[in-house]
């Protein structure tokens, strides 16, 4: 299955250049951290440059040294969320060779990330109405890497033959909604128990186990 192109949309203006000093970068990151908290708490429409800069404890004029608009901040937040999540999953699965073990460890790491970063869903979801291109790219970038990893695992016999593109999106969907239900909405759910149950479904499916020697 071919990778679907991103929907046509008007490209946003280029981002402002990154700060040249470590102090400037720290200030920029402080504004982004504040925007993540403020948008996560209020939602994009209710958050403003004023509330973001108050949260960051910087002057409004300082904001415009790093970002053109609230939409500019939202775009960068989505990109940053994607980078942070992919880095977290890469670190959690480092050294593992078996694809199914990587899936299990990766799912548990994703659920832990969601619980520790509750603003992830709101920021990404609301970006759909702010910048459709950034919203789609968040998922497409993740899916493209995932598809390649699944295809490579299939090539060495660790997975059954199948459509790696479809599988990548299906597995992302499973993780997405399990994350909402058991990591975001239910803070008391055991991530380990949820991972075990979800992995049993992912690795074996929902078909009943047939008696020994009986063909389907």
| Domains, the chain, ordered by start | 18-67 (1.10.10.60), 70-203 (1.10.357.10)
pLDDT at position 30 is 96
- 73 within 8 A of 52, measured Cβ to Cβ: yes
Per-position DSSP letters for the chain, written without gaps between them: -PPPPPPP-PPPPPPPPPPSSHHHHHHHHHHHHHHHHHHHHH-TTT--HHHHHHHHT--HHHHHHH-SSHHHHHHHHHHHHHHHHHHHHHHHTTT---HHHHHHHHHHHHHHHHHH-THHHHHHHHHTTT-HHHHHHHHHHHHHHHHHHHHHHHHTTSS-S--HHHHHHHHHHHHHHHIIIIIII-TTS-HHHHHHHHHHHHHH-SSPPPPTT---
130 CB-contact burial (10 Å; exposed 0-12 / middle 13-18 / buried 19+): buried
Interatomic CA distance for residues 120 and 101, integer angstroms: 25
pLDDT digits (tens, 9 = 90+) for 7-61: 554 555 566 778 889 999 999 999 999 999 999 999 999 999 999 999 999 999 9
pLDDT digits (tens, 9 = 90+) for 136-180: 999 999 999 999 999 999 999 999 999 999 999 999 999 999 999
Largest pairwise CA distance in the chain:
73
pLDDT band at 194 (very low <50, low <70, confident <90, very high): very high
């Amino acid at each position: 299955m071919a990778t679907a192109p991103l929907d046509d949309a008007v490209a946003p203006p280029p981002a402002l250049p990154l700060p040249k000093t470590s102090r400037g970068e720290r200030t920029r990151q402080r504004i982004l951290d504040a925007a993540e908290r403020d948008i996560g708490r209020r939602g994009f429409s209710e958050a403003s440059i004023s509330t973001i800069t108050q949260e960051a404890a910087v002057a409004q004029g300082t904001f415009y040294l790093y970002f053109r608009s609230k939409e500019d901040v939202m775009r960068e937040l989505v990109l940053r969320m994607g980078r942070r999540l992919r880095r977290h999953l890469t670190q959690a699965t480092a050294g593992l060779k078996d694809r199914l073990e990587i899936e299990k460890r990766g799912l548990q790491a994703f659920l832990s990330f969601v619980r520790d970063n509750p603003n992830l869903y709101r920021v990404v979801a609301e970006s759909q109405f702010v910048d459709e291109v950034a919203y789609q790219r968040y998922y497409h970038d993740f899916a493209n890497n995932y598809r390649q990893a699944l295809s490579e695992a299939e090539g060495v016999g660790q997975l059954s033959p199948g459509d790696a593109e479809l599988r990548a999106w299906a597995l992302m969907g499973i993780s997405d909604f399990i994350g909402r239900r058991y990591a975001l909405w239910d803070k008391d759910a055991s991530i380990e128990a949820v991972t075990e149950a979800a992995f049993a479904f992912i690795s074996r499916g929902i078909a009943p186990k047939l008696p020994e020697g009986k063909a389907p």
